[in-house]
Structure formats: C-alpha cells, structure tokens
Amino acid sequence: MSVLSAAFVTVFIATVIAQAMPLLLASVGETIGEQAGVLNLGIEGVMLIGAFSGFVVTLATGNFWLGMLAGAVGGVIANLAMLVLNVWLGLNQIVIGLAITLIGEGLTSVLYLQNYSKSSTSLGTAPELHIPFLADIPVVGPAIFQQSGIFWVSLLLAIAVGFFLAKTNWGLSIRSAGQKPSSLDAAGGSVVKIRSQAVILGGAFVGFGGAYLAELTTATFTPFITNGLGFIAIVITMLSRGRIVFVVITSFVYGLAVAIGPALQVLGFAVPADVIKMLPFIVVILTLIIFARSSVVPPALGAPYTRGAR
Amino acid sequence: MITEHSRARNIVDGLVRSILPVILALIVAGFIMLAMGSNPLDFFAGVWTYGITGGNWQRSLVLMAPLVIVAVGLIVAFRGQLWNLGYNGQYLLGAVVASGVGPYLFAALPAWLATLIIFVGAILVGAVWSLIPAILKARYGTNEIITSLVMSFIAVGIVNLLIKGPFKDPNTPMPQTAVIPDDQLLPYIPGTEIHVGFVIAIVLALVAQFVLSRTSFGLRMDIFGASPKAARHVGINSTWMVILLFALSSGLIAFAGSIDVLGQYTYQRANWDPHYGDAVMPFVFLARLSPLAAIPLVAFYAILATGGTLAAQQAGLNVDFLLVIVGLILIFMTITEYVGERRRLGQSYLPPGLRRTLVRPFDGMRGRKSS
C-alpha cells in the first residue's frame, strides 16, 4: 500500500483519533483533580473500571451511549474511595492511588475472566454520525467526519471543561484549592467541597475515557487493557499545566506516536510490537527531559488540607 | 501523662496497627469472594494447604528471597521520601542480566565467578537505569513517581526485545532465554530445597536495618527524608543524596531479579512480569519502613501468594484477585493509621480523666489502678 493512497491516510487519521481520545478524556479528568490539589495515582484503576463497566453495559444492551454513561458512573464510584479517604479524611494520596490502581486491575481482570472469557466479546462498531457535506470530503471526511457521535460529545465536554476551568468563578475556586487552599478558605469557600466536586467530576471523565477505550478504540475489553495509559495521562496533565488546549495537543501527539507503529508495518517496515508499545513512553520521557523545567504542578498538590495547620 | 505511652505499649500499638489492616482486608476480600460466588473459606484453607503444609513452606521461603530484597530496595528510597515506583522494570532488567548474559558467562567462567559478575552487573544496570529519574528529580524537581514509572514501561519493552532478540534460546521456538543448568544455579541450603538467595536476602535486610538505624548514614537519610531543606543546613548534599538513594534502591531491586533467576526460574520468558514491587508495597509501609519488621510481613505475603495461586484457581478465581487483597490492605492501612493518630492527637483537648474514660472505657471495670 502506498503512503499517499487515500485509504491509508484515512485509516491513519482515524487511528490517531481513536488512540488519542481515551487519553484526552482521562487527562482532562486528571487535570480537574490536579488543579484542585488532588493527585490521583489511581487513574489507571479508575480507567479500567470505567472501561469494564462500559463494556459490560454495551455488551448487554448493545447501546454505546449507555455504555459510555456506565463508564462515567463506574469512574465516579471508583473515585469515591479517593474522595472519602483523601479529601475527607486527609490520608496519603500516593498510597490510596496505588490501592485504587491495584484493586481496579485485580477486580476487572478477575470479573472479566470469570464471566466473559469463553464467549465472543466484540462490541462491533458504534453507529457513525455522517456530518453533511464535510463527510464527503475525500480523505479527511471518512476519517474525521464519519466518527461516532460519542467522539463529538467527548470533544465538546473537554472544551467545556477548559472553558469552565479558565473563565468561571467555579474554575477559579478549583484552581485556588490547588494553589493556596487557605486563601480559598479565607474567601469563604469550602476547600473540601470544591475538592469533592473536582474528584467526582474528574472520576467521571476518567471513567468516560476508559469506556471510550473499550467501546470505540478496541471494541472489546481485555484484562489490563489500559497498559499504563493512566500514568501517561498523569504525565500529560503535568506537562499541560492545567490548560486543556495543551491536553488536547499532547494527547494527539501521543495518538500519532501510537499510530505510526502499525502504519510502518503496513508500509512494509518490520517494527517489533514491543517497540510500538514502548514508543509513547519514550516520547514521554524525552518530552520530560527536554521540558523538565516546565512540568510545574500546583503547590498544594498532594497535600491534604487541614484548616489552621501551617 | 507522658509515660502513658510506655515502650511496651508502643510495641503493642505498632503490632496492632500492622496486623489489623491485614485482617480487615482479608475479611473484606472474603465478602467480595462471596459476592463473586466463590467460597472464601475454601480459598483461605487452600492458602494454608498450598502455602505451608507438606513441603510447601519451602516454596514460600523461596518466593521470600526476591520479595525481601525488593522490600529493602523500596525502603531505601521511601526513607528518603523518594517514590521509586519503577520497580517492575528494574526487577526485570536485573533478571535479564542473569538469564540473558548468564548462559554465556557460565560457559566461560567458573560458576562462582560468573555468579558474582552477574550480581554486580545486575546491580549496576539497575543503578544506571535509575539515573534519569534521579537527575531530573535532583536538578528540576520533576516528579519521580512519573519518571520512574515511565522508565519502567520502557525497561519492560527493552527486556522483551532482548529476550526475543539477542538473548533468545535458538533451540526453542518460544521467545525465552536458554535454561541455566542445575549445577550452575545458586546452591540449596543443605537439607532443604531453598536456595541460598534466601539467606542473602535475610542478611541483606539485617544489614540494611543496622545501617538505617545505627549509622550516621542512616540518620542523614532520615533527615533528608524528613526535610531536604533541613538536610542542606546540616551539610547534606541533596543532589547527591537523591542520586545515591535512587541508585541503591534500583540496584537492589535489580539484584532481586538476578537472584530470582539464578535461584528459582533458571530462564526467562518474554512478557513475564511478576509485579513483586506492587505486592510488597503495603507491607513495606506496614513495617514502618523498617527492613527487620518487613521480614515477617513479607513472609506472610509469600505464603498468601504461594498458596493463593493454586487456592484461587480452586475457588474459581483468577490469580489477579491477589491484587485486590493487596489494594485492600493498603486502604485499611491508611484508615488504621488515621484512627490511631486521631486517638493520640485529636482528643488532646479533653481533660485527662475524661479522655482516659473515652479512649479506654473498660479500664475501670478491670480494676486497674488509675494514675
């Protein structure tokens, strides 16, 4: 197949989008939490739980929108542990995050193998939304404008979060809870309330991202399907410094890094699967080395807020 | 009031806080098993049968060897408040030094010399691998959790490439390294089927305990961990400290990998990753970052894992259920810690008499003399 053939480019663009979207959604969720001062290391587990809930519901009902909703609900439920133990009780975020990751990995793997390992688990393809006129553009049309409606809703949600974080009072409260919680407290806001909202909303996005991965990217669930994607989301969040525009850009750079591997294989270069799996991580570590100084996190990140404590 | 917490009471307190979370986690895990339609009693009986009875306790001790060393490696980093979470990759790098380079070395050199070179090589590879996270942390304050994790994923990929490429055994179609012959593996402790790696691990833990609690280096580590700023004031070079602790931690974890291959596995398959670090993590915390206290806790996990692998299959579960148990232990550990702190600090505004009645309401009934 030639590099310039229309079908090849179309598939390539579609792959980039399919790989970038779960990461984008998860990073948006993590951004909300981190801006409010909650570093959620359990995001890998939350994604898996979201992916599994979405998979189960879509497999049972055949409805992709219900599956996405279930993924978001699953994410919120998984994040409740972080909410109660860290935001309310002030326990160590790193330890709880690891616990959520382990439980998410273990539970989804055990449940999947117990219930679904023997039957066909392909979800098929989600109904596509043909956008009039745009869908008819030769190469780009089928790749971008014939996506499922879920893609557009996801993109809109991400942009909405970016707007709310940057331009509204609520966003300001979120950011102050991460920058200087005591000032939010002094201004009459409640740090615990704001952080609770952030963790719940963040969980919904991360779960949504997990469901996107299972529903649209792979169309099935396998144990450990995220394979470190949650941790990449944390890196992207750190590098983006709370700006959703950068989250979107870096997520698509990641999508490119993943899509290049299979594309090279199609073109006849024998690239080992392990190299393809490593590539995004190498890109990430190189980015971290080059932009080491700009990976700034909110000052109160990781610190539980105790009123009156110094 | 100060003498209320005597030394003996502190030890009891510590024991309760270390063991209670494990018990609570096992109970909750039991209920989860029930909800999944498995019998938890079968599972726990299976853990006992396959983890301890017959000769199975020896298998548990063999598993302990790498676990204890990984635990010590984690403790070294955590004591300095450095979150080295790249343990999976570091372990596999150490393992592949033994399984990949090992067969060539054993063919050319006497076994003891080859073993020594493998161990040193594994430690060095682990230490060098940790340099990127360590330098980024020391120079720019980049979060080491992220960098070490990302490096771990890269290490896993490199190890797989090595096993499928240059280190692959040409005599088998499977992607795996050549099997190291029995007479070149670590010898057994006489009278048992436990390799000497177990002894090395225990000695290492004891040495680490001594260094951490009885030497000036241990003290400097603790000062650095408590406050890098304070450490600078007493003349500790924090850049050097970050790099050294990371190298030690990562080197030890890689060492565990090489010992595990030379003691137990004899070869390495591609895509194999035992995730020892994930499993050991809660017990390292429960041991209050003390290598000595980690030994019995790791022994507990070794039995749980050895017996649990078969027991889980019997109970109709997947081995990954162990991950759930470990996660639950972590959660209950933080909760227990929280309740413990509350009892000690949170109620201090109460008058002493009332406080004692509230905290220990049954003291009076036992007729103990109140001071």
Single-letter code of the amino acid located at A31:
T
Predicted confidence band of residue A291 (pLDDT cuts 50, 70, 90):
confident
Q: Is residue B22 part of a domain?
A: no
Q: Is residue B270 part of a domain?
A: yes
Predicted confidence band of residue B352 (pLDDT cuts 50, 70, 90):
very low
Q: Does B362 touch chain A (CB under 8 A)?
A: no
Inter-chain touch B278–A98, beta carbons under 8 Å:
yes
Q: Is residue B276 part of a domain?
A: yes
**What token pair was written down for B148?**
């070490």
Predicted confidence band of residue B31 (pLDDT cuts 50, 70, 90):
very high
Chain A 218-237, residues with CB within 8 Å of chain B CB atoms: 223, 228, 231-232, 234-235
Measured in degrees and rounded to the nearest 5, phi and psi for residue B315 equal: -85, 5
- Alpha carbon distance B143, B84 (integer Å): 10
**pLDDT tens digits, residue range B55-100?**
899 999 999 999 999 999 999 999 988 989 999 999 999 999 999 9
Interface residue of A110, A118, A291, A306 to substitute, partner B, most B CBs within 10 Å: A110
Query: Chain A residues with CB inside 8 Å of B322's CB?
Result: 106
Of B150, B160, B331, the CB nearest to A231: B150
Inter-chain touch A102–B327, beta carbons under 8 Å:
yes
Q: Is residue B351 part of a domain?
A: no
Inter-chain touch A113–B142, beta carbons under 8 Å:
no
For residue B226, CA distances in Å to A16, B58, B229 come to 45, 39, 9
Is pTM, for the whole model, over 0.90? no
Q: Does A103 touch chain B (CB under 8 A)?
A: yes
Helix axes B276-286, B7-35, angle to 10 degrees: 140
Predicted confidence band of residue B108 (pLDDT cuts 50, 70, 90):
very high
Domain that holds residue B81: 54-281
Task: Tally the domains of chain B.
Answer: 1
**What token pair was written down for B138?**
């020391």
**pLDDT tens digits, residue range A264-286?**
877 888 788 888 888 888 888 88
ipTM: 0.87
pLDDT at residue number A270:
78
Inter-chain touch B153–A231, beta carbons under 8 Å:
yes
Q: Is B304 helix (H, G, I), strand (E, B) or coil?
A: helix
Q: Is residue B17 part of a domain?
A: no
Chain B 43-82, residues with CB within 8 Å of chain A CB atoms: none
CA within 13 Å, CB half, B79: 29
Kindly calculate the radius of gyration of chain A based on its CA atoms and give it in whole angstroms: 20
Kindly calculate the radius of gyration of chain B based on its CA atoms and give it in whole angstroms: 23
- Alpha carbon distance B362, A267 (integer Å): 78
Residues forming a β-bridge with B168: B177
Of A96, A228, A289, the CB nearest to B334: A96
Per the model's pLDDT, the better-predicted residue between B88 and A125 turns out to be B88
Of B139, B150, B320, the CB nearest to A109: B320
pLDDT at residue number B45:
92
Helices (H) and strands (E) in chain B, counts: 16, 0
Q: Which residue from B minimizes the CA distance to A272? A: B161
**pLDDT tens digits, residue range A81-115?**
889 888 888 887 888 898 999 999 999 999 998 88
Mean pLDDT (chain A) is 86
Rounded to the nearest 10°, the torsion over CA B205, B209, B212, B213 is 180
**pLDDT tens digits, residue range A11-53?**
888 889 999 999 999 999 999 998 998 888 899 999 999 999 9
pLDDT at residue number B14:
76
Q: Does A98 touch chain B (CB under 8 A)?
A: yes
